[in-house]
A = this chain, B = another copy of it.
Amino acid sequence: MAHTQPSSTVKSPTLDRLQSLVRKDLASVDQVILSHIDSGVPLIPKLARHIIAAGGKRLRPALTLLSAKLCGYSGERHVHLAACVEFIHTATLLHDDVVDESALRRGSATANEVWGNKASVLVGDFLLSRAFQLMVSDGSLKVLRILSNASAVIAQGEVMQLTTANNPQTTEQEYLEVITAKTATLFAAACELGAVVSAQEDKEDVLRAIGLALGIAFQIMDDTLDYVAEQATLGKSIGDDFRDGKVTLPVILAYARGTTEEQQFWTRTLEDQAIEEGDLEKAMKIINKYRAITDSITLAESYCESARKLLAPFPQSPEKDALLETIDFCTQRAY
């Protein structure tokens, strides 16, 4: 699964640089989050803590914090806006768990498995409302516009994903529309907010575009790694999308390039959901036969390259280096 690509570092890129730059602010974001999920209804903080604790890399709020620093910001508003971004992301995860009937997220039981679909939907609604309350406290209509637009586009992307689910004839174009809406839009908003909070209006568009490209690359890689066997040896689950009937880029490329018999395989497994023993291995074999992993990574890399070019004009700084390494990390995660 070797692939070569331009890289600004020799050793594998990590998120260490990003995380050390925003560590203190990210701890403040966690404080803001914890203080705002408190409620007279005990199930709310209980369930919200569960999903937020499982919350992985905090990549989206970190991007808001880093973008603000990149623009020279030194106040405290970015912490609150990063919390808004994480609330919106968490609400989406909660509703996504419900709608996907996924039993596991990052290896631990999903909130809806533990407390039921009902609670996941309603606590998601609560977190989304909390995000808007926090924005209102911040007091910027521009921030409210950016995040209410993002929220509407994310919902549209999720609905569009529903209508493409189980359809192996989904086009690459449709796939890109879905992931742009459901994933990249929040990355874009997260980065744009860094410019907004710093009152650097001339940097809003470019940071938004960097976030958008990064988000598209991130989602392509996420979808691609689900079919990479080496992931399993690293303790990550693979084949989740296959079992859910999600039609992602590796499948789209393999379907388009496949024989009639292979296309029938995709129809049986993804559309009819009639998955048999050994089908995941067969899927991965067909995907590799048509170089669909390599080509998916190449496409992700092209979005990373756009992001790098957009970032080039920024003056040298630790924040710029960290963002560049975050971009590299996206397509060169360990596997």
Asked whether B99 lies within 8 Å of A155 as measured between CB atoms, the reply is no
Main secondary structure of the interface of A (DSSP, over half): helix
Q: How far is the CB of A230 from chain B (nearest CB, A)?
A: 32
A60 surroundings in chain B (CB, below 8 A): none
A159 to B132, CA, bound (A): 19
A57 surroundings in chain B (CB, below 8 A): none
A117 to B118, CA, bound (A): 11
Q: How far is the CB of A165 from chain B (nearest CB, A)?
A: 9
A205 to B118, CA, bound (A): 33
Q: Given A98-B117, A121-B95, A122-B162, decide whether A145 and B152 contact each other with a Cβ distance below 8 A.
A: no
| A31 interface contact, C-beta 8 A | no
A151 surroundings in chain B (CB, below 8 A): 125, 128-129, 132
Asked whether B43 lies within 8 Å of A155 as measured between CB atoms, the reply is no
Asked whether B149 lies within 8 Å of A133 as measured between CB atoms, the reply is yes
Most buried by B among A42, A126, A149: A126
A275 surroundings in chain B (CB, below 8 A): none
Asked whether A156 lies within 8 Å of B44 as measured between CB atoms, the reply is yes
A98 surroundings in chain B (CB, below 8 A): 98, 117-118, 121
A145 to B139, CA, bound (A): 10
B-contact 0/1 string along A142-169, CB 8 Å cutoff: 0011001101101110111011000000
- Name A125's contact: one of B41, B118, B158, B163 (CB within 8 Å): B158
B-contact 0/1 string along A223-258, CB 8 Å cutoff: 000000000000000000000000000000000000
| A190 interface contact, C-beta 8 A | no
Q: How far is the CB of A277 from chain B (nearest CB, A)?
A: 28
Asked whether B162 lies within 8 Å of A125 as measured between CB atoms, the reply is no
Interface size class on chain A is: 35 or more
Asked whether A99 lies within 8 Å of B121 as measured between CB atoms, the reply is yes
B-contact 0/1 string along A8-45, CB 8 Å cutoff: 00000000000000000000000000000001111110
| A212 interface contact, C-beta 8 A | no
| A119 interface contact, C-beta 8 A | yes
| A53 interface contact, C-beta 8 A | no
Q: How far is the CB of A114 from chain B (nearest CB, A)?
A: 13
A44 surroundings in chain B (CB, below 8 A): 156, 159
Using CB atoms, name the residue of chain B closest to A40. B156
A156 surroundings in chain B (CB, below 8 A): 39-41, 44, 126
A197 to B160, CA, bound (A): 36
| A1 interface contact, C-beta 8 A | no
- List 7 tightest A-B contacts by C-beta distance, closest first: A129-B152, A126-B155, A99-B118, A132-B148, A129-B151, A125-B155, A122-B158
- Ordered by A's residue number, 8 sampled pairs between the chains whose C-beta atoms are within 8 Å are A41-B163, A43-B159, A95-B125, A117-B117, A121-B121, A125-B151, A128-B128, A129-B148
